[in-house]
């Protein structure tokens, strides 16, 4: 029995896939747990439209009533953006949430699973999860990294969240055999900032070059995903020392409040948005929009 029976496609996505037209997957945890209302809903819609305007079909993925939805209706998007009852599903949660007919947003890992089952090759998000700071005490490594090692979906992002240990995140990806491509940059971007001080091993200069690497990897039979690390546009980037201070403060508050496990990332993102007085949220929004355009271009190239 195959996983496809758990999928439920929107009309738009179904038609595109049937006609072998390019489709870009989008995650929903950023909507349900990563940004406040109403910005979350506005961004979710805008990002979909950026992809459509490029002639590519967006497929936002979430689990609703136990079905893996590939492409959401307006109502479903609104529900995810406003309801307090939406769970957060990563790989390990998928079977439980589906079997119990629950509703959850999907993380990068779970969205990759959904995209792969649906036959979608490109996925756009803000930042992937990674190795958390203080990992030697907490063992907290996002399941996103394991997923990138095993599931063949290309992920366009602005690096990993700056709340993480970016150096260890890159080490982990190297160990797991995940290619990391700088999109027009030689540095691994640090989400809100263009620079992290960490180099990527390879740079691609445009979507066609990225598509060529993706195609080659899969043609070679190498399993797993690829990270396309696309820096935030310069005019929206935030100063590194400003962000470092806010992140430090947020990490301290998380520790004080004893936040652990899957609640940690949403807690930190919330705190950063609070302390960043809207500046970090604005940066987050702009980088996701920029990633959407790059993702659409890569999806298009992959079908050319």
Which residue numbers are catalytic? 27, 161
What CA–CA distance (Å, rounded) separates 51 from 59?
10
71 contacts ligand PSU (rule: CB under 6 A): no
| Of the candidate residues 140, 144, 165, 286, the single one contacting Mn ion (CB under 5 A) | 140
| Shortest distance in whole angstroms from residue 201 CB to ligand PSU | 23
Task: Tell me the DSSP string of 192-259.
Answer: TBS--S-B-SEEE-SHHHHHHHHHHHHHTT--S-EEEE-PPPGGG---HHHHHHHHHHHHHHHHHHT-
Q: How many residues bind ligand PSU (CB under 6 A)?
A: 19
Task: Say which DSSP state 190 is in.
Answer: B
x/- letters, 214..253, toward ligand PSU (CB under 6 A): ----------------------------------------
Closest residue (Cβ) to ligand PSU? 34
What CA–CA distance (Å, rounded) separates 10 from 142?
29
x/- letters, 82..121, toward ligand PSU (CB under 6 A): --------x----------------xx-------------
The residue written with tokens 């890992």 in the block is 109
Element (H, E) at 21: none
| Shortest distance in whole angstroms from residue 284 CB to ligand PSU | 6
What CA–CA distance (Å, rounded) separates 189 from 80?
28
* Interface residue list for ligand PSU (CB under 6 A): 27, 29-30, 33-34, 90, 107-108, 126-127, 129, 142-144, 161, 262, 265, 269, 284
* Interface residue list for Mn ion (CB under 5 A): 140
């Amino acid at each position: 029995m195959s996983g496809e029976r758990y999928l439920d496609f929107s009309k738009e996505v179904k038609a595109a896939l049937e006609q072998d037209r390019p489709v870009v997957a989008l995650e929903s945890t950023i909507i349900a747990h990563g940004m406040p209302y109403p910005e979350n809903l506005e961004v979710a819609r805008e990002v979909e439209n950026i992809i459509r305007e490029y002639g590519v079909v967006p497929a936002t993925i979430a689990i609703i009533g136990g079905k893996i939805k590939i492409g959401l209706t307006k109502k479903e998007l609104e529900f995810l953006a406003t309801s307090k009852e939406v769970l957060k599903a990563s790989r390990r949660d998928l079977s439980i949430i589906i079997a119990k007919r629950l509703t959850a947003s999907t993380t990068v890992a779970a969205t990759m699973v959904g995209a792969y089952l649906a036959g979608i090759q490109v996925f756009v998000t803000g930042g992937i999860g990674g190795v958390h700071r203080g990992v030697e005490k907490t063992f907290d490594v996002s399941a996103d990294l394991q997923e990138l090692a095993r599931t063949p979906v290309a992920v366009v992002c602005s690096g990993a969240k700056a709340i993480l240990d970016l150096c260890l995140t890159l080490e982990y990806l190297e160990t797991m055999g995940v290619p990391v491509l700088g999109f027009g940059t030689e540095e691994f971007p640090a989400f809100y900032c263009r620079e992290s001080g960490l180099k990527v091993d390879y740079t691609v200069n445009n979507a066609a070059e990225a598509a060529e690497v993706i195609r080659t990897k899969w043609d070679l039979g190498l399993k797993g995903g690829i990270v396309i690390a696309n820096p935030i546009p310069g005019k929206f980037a935030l100063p590194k020392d400003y962000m470092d201070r806010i992140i430090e403060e947020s990490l301290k508050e998380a520790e004080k409040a004893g936040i652990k496990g899957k609640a940690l990332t949403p807690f930190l993102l919330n705190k950063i948005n609070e302390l960043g007085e809207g500046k970090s949220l604005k940066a987050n929004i702009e980088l996701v929009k920029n990633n959407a355009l790059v993702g659409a271009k890569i999806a298009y190239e992959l079908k050319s």
